[in-house]
Chains A and B, each alone.
Chain A
Amino acid sequence: EDKVVQSPLSLVVHEGDTVTLNCSYEVTNFRSLLWYKQEKKAPTFLFMLTSSGIEKKSGRLSSILDKKELFSILNITATQTGDSAIYLCAVTMNYGGSQGNLIFGKGTKLSVKP
């Protein structure tokens, strides 16, 4: 069964801390891994990763994929209260009737305290 597992499920840090969120996956015919940030309502896109070892960066956020070990990490440096959200990891596959569908992990709820 295809699955995506995120850890930790919840995390509380203080402003200025650096956090690392984990996402591991077991899927057949992996295509890509995506990270989303969900604050109140709609998840917003952060990164899409398809190749191992290539870091994607956007401001204080960065992410990298390891296709050999089947995981990805999302790093947030110098956290701010505005980073408080649920971070969702999702994976797509290359084939089959569900081609293109995202399989989501349960998310990591990050709370950043002032």
Chain B
Amino acid sequence: DGGITQSPKYLFRKEGQNVTLSCEQNLNHDAMYWYRQDPGQGLRLIYYSQIVNDFQKGDIAEGYSVSREKKESFPLTVTSAQKNPTAFYLCASSKGPGQQDYGYTFGSGTRLTVV
């Protein structure tokens, strides 16, 4: 079955460490996205990529980095520069600009906690 897989489901990070969240899709979608969700804040866009080897900053990109070396994969690194990284992170994909007839497909999320 096609879908998006995020791993791990839960992640604990010590202050000052970088961590990488994995996101893999087998839907043959061109576009992939990372969102952060905090209570009462809805979903806020961190980074997005509409094509391999290209990505753009979203609304809250500071302290994060991404890569898009393969169509299927869009890992997110939470760096030590992110001052408040504890949150729920959602990865999503869509067919691409102008083709998102049914919106996004979401992964199950990664809950990151700084300890």
Asked whether any CB of chain A lies closer than 8 Å to the CB of B28, the reply is no
Pick the contact of A99: B42, B45, B58, B98 (CB < 8 A).
B98
Asked whether any CB of chain B lies closer than 8 Å to the CB of A34, the reply is yes
Q: How far is the CA of A105 from the CA of B42 in the complex (A)?
A: 6
Asked whether any CB of chain A lies closer than 8 Å to the CB of B66, the reply is no
Asked whether any CB of chain B lies closer than 8 Å to the CB of A104, the reply is yes
Pick the contact of B43: A88, A98, A99 (CB < 8 A).
A88
Q: Are B56 and A102 in contact (CB under 8 A)?
A: no
Segment of B11-19, B67-75, B76-84, B106-114 engaged in the interface with chain A: B106-114
CB distance from A96 to the nearest CB of B (A): 10
Residues 58-114 (chain A) with a chain B CB within 8 angstroms = 88, 90, 92, 97-102, 104-107
Q: How far is the CA of A105 from the CA of B44 in the complex (A)?
A: 9
Pick the contact of A104: B31, B40, B43, B48 (CB < 8 A).
B43
CB distance from B85 to the nearest CB of A (A): 19
- Compute the total of residue contacts between A and B using a CB distance below 8 Å: 61
Number of B interface residues at 8 Å Cβ cutoff, please give it: 29
Q: How far is the CA of A50 from the CA of B28 in the complex (A)?
A: 25
Asked whether any CB of chain B lies closer than 8 Å to the CB of A36, the reply is yes
Asked whether any CB of chain B lies closer than 8 Å to the CB of A53, the reply is no
Asked whether any CB of chain B lies closer than 8 Å to the CB of A43, the reply is yes
Asked whether any CB of chain A lies closer than 8 Å to the CB of B2, the reply is no
Q: Are A100 and B98 in contact (CB under 8 A)?
A: yes
Q: How far is the CA of A43 from the CA of B41 in the complex (A)?
A: 15
Asked whether any CB of chain B lies closer than 8 Å to the CB of A9, the reply is yes
Asked whether any CB of chain A lies closer than 8 Å to the CB of B8, the reply is no
Question: What residues make up the interface of A, taking CB atoms closer than 8 Å to B?
Answer: 6, 9, 32, 34, 36, 41-45, 48, 88, 90, 92, 97-102, 104-107
Question: What residues make up the interface of B, taking CB atoms closer than 8 Å to A?
Answer: 4, 31, 33, 35, 40-45, 48, 50, 56, 58, 90, 94, 96-104, 106-109
A–B complex contacts, Cβ < 8 Å, 8 sampled: A43-B104, A44-B106, A48-B101, A48-B102, A90-B43, A92-B100, A99-B97, A101-B58
Additional A-B contact list (7), CB under 8 Å, known A42-B106, A100-B100, A104-B43: A6-B42, A99-B98, A100-B96, A101-B33, A102-B103, A105-B42, A107-B42
